[in-house]
Amino acid sequence: MSRYILAIDQGTTGTTVMVLDPKLSVVARSNREFPQVYPRPGWVEHDPEAIWTSTLSTIDETLKKAGIQGADLAGIGITNQRETTVLWRRRDDRPIHNAIVWQCRRTAPLCAELKENGLESLFRSKTGLVLDPYFSGTKIRWILDEVEGARQAATNGDLAFGTIDSFLTWRLSGGKSHVTDVSNASRTLLMDLETLSWDDELLDQLQVPRSLLPRICSSSEVYGHTSGVPNLPDGIPIAGIAGDQQAALFGQVCFSPGEAKCTFGTGAFLLMNTGARPVPSERGLLTTVAWRIGDEVSYALEGSAFIAGAAVQWLRDGLGIIRDASEIEALARSVNNSGGVVFVPALTGLGAPHWRAEARGIICGIDRGVTRAHLARAALEGIALQNADILSAMEADSGVKLSKLKVDGGAAANDLLVQYQADVLNVPIVRPKMLETTALGAGLLAGLATGMWSSRSEAADVWASERQFVPNMESSTREQELARWRDAVSRA
């Protein structure tokens, strides 16, 4: 009997693959980065072939580390950077343009035009989303309008659209499965939250032909089987799909309404499980599908900050004040505070709850005594302060006061960041033993579909925390910090 699950976590800066055993232990793990493409300011792209190559090489490396064969795999789960958009030719699988990444702001003028035409309420009511370049629908429209011959090819049924989960499933299945799950479909501006199906009125407004679109499936089922994949046998079930943030919510075993998590990745993403009905937001949050398993649907409220870990990368690559991202905590700890410096990391605009695509990063409060250590500390604090805005809106929309928040992602290993986050939120924070809960969630969804695990309660039984961070900031200090932050955001 096949004894392992392969979890593919295809992220913004790299691809991670894990092999999980029946106890949800990581048998082996590998990661491979790939290049980012910046054609002009505010534009972000990926080469889809680089994503596919990184996936293949990382699968191969992980299986070798684990000392197992592809035949030992019970199934494959996929989690992915969500709104990133790819269009490819059905006949030869070749992309017609680079993938347009979720961070890309090129469709801001189109979003503004749609708003001016009075369409924001239509999209908001049907999709739970705002009209922002973040989402896939306007990216599809841009490719169809700007790539020569694309619209005619789409009309003829020659092209396929997918978020990265769809693209990988198509490639893994040898072009036999063109699917997505409800969590990814809910991020396109094209799916109705109530019916969980593509909406003709929204398609018409964005001029997207239905023939482009994948079939919407649940988050845990067999979508197809591997076929013609290098170094993998044919016939392995592809059995779990969820967008990265929903997968992290699942991997954090936030199965009950009111439970919430924050993932510190390239951006920062807070999700709260709201149960079987979508909760509309009046404060700039997103209403989204968390997952569907069988006939059971769970929804979530989400607030996203576009820049979190990417701010540390910018300090490294753009300013050169650190050589490696791992140096940031020690540098920030070398000073007692930020010296009055506030860093708003709006390097690609402001997300929830502000939704200001035109906003740009700002560093204020600088005087002659400020050092690179103060900048480092201000950057970490800025990541956390963004989340304070989001959580405040989330509690107000849901009517739920959080008793704790679970965290994951690479930057959650930074004790200084997580403690400051607990302080400005005034909420205890729980950090799990396994920080890469996106891959864990994808693997768990695949294992449920293939019989590796019989129920979600098995996951809840083995989930374990590593540390709890208790707020210890004086309320007056917290209010001062938040007031300085709000002033800086107003100028970004």
Model confidence over 328-376: pLDDT tens digits?
A: 999 999 999 999 999 999 988 888 888 787 889 999 999 999 999 999 9
Instruction: Of 397, 473, 396, give the one whose Cα is nearest residue 428.
Output: 473
pLDDT at residue 374, rounded to an integer: 96
What dotted CATH number matches 4-245?
Answer: 3.30.420.40
Q: Name the token pair of 171.
A: 């490639």
pLDDT tens column, 365-387: 999 999 999 999 999 999 999 99
- 9 beta partners: 16, 79
| Cis ω for the linkage preceding 109 (within 30 of 0) | no
Q: CA–CA separation, 136 vs 186, rounded Å?
A: 10
Q: What secondary structure letter does DSSP report for 490? A: H
Q: Name the token pair of 358.
A: 């035109």
- In angstroms, how far is the first alpha carbon of the chain from the final one? 57
Instruction: Of 237, 230, 270, 245, give the one whose Cα is nearest residue 387.
Output: 270
Tokens 């900050």 sit on residue: 305
Q: CA–CA separation, 187 vs 172, rounded Å?
A: 23
Q: Amino acid letter at 24?
A: L
Q: Are strands 260-264 and 405-408 parallel, antiparallel or unpaired?
A: parallel
Dihedral pair phi/psi, residue 304, rounded to 5°: -125, 135
Q: CA–CA separation, 141 vs 332, rounded Å?
A: 43
Q: Taking the domains of the chain in order of start, what are their residue ranges?
A: 4-245
pLDDT at residue 379, rounded to an integer: 95
Q: CA–CA separation, 329 vs 376, rounded Å?
A: 8
Which parts of the chain register pLDDT below 50? none
CA 10 to each of CA 13, 214, 236, 386, 439: distance values in angstroms, whole numbers, following the listed order? 9, 19, 19, 25, 9
Helix (H) or strand (E) holding 377: helix 372-398
Contact 190, 200 (CB under 8 A): no
Q: Name the token pair of 235.
A: 């016939």
Q: Name the token pair of 263.
A: 């993932």
b vs e for 113-148, b when ≥16 Cβ sit within 10 Å of the residue's Cβ? ebeeeebeebbbebbbbbbbbbbbbbbbbbbbeeee
pLDDT at residue 110, rounded to an integer: 96
Q: Name the token pair of 472.
A: 């210890």
Q: CA–CA separation, 168 vs 36, rounded Å?
A: 18
Contact 41, 466 (CB under 8 A): no
Q: Name the token pair of 247.
A: 């997968």
Q: Name the token pair of 362.
A: 């700002």
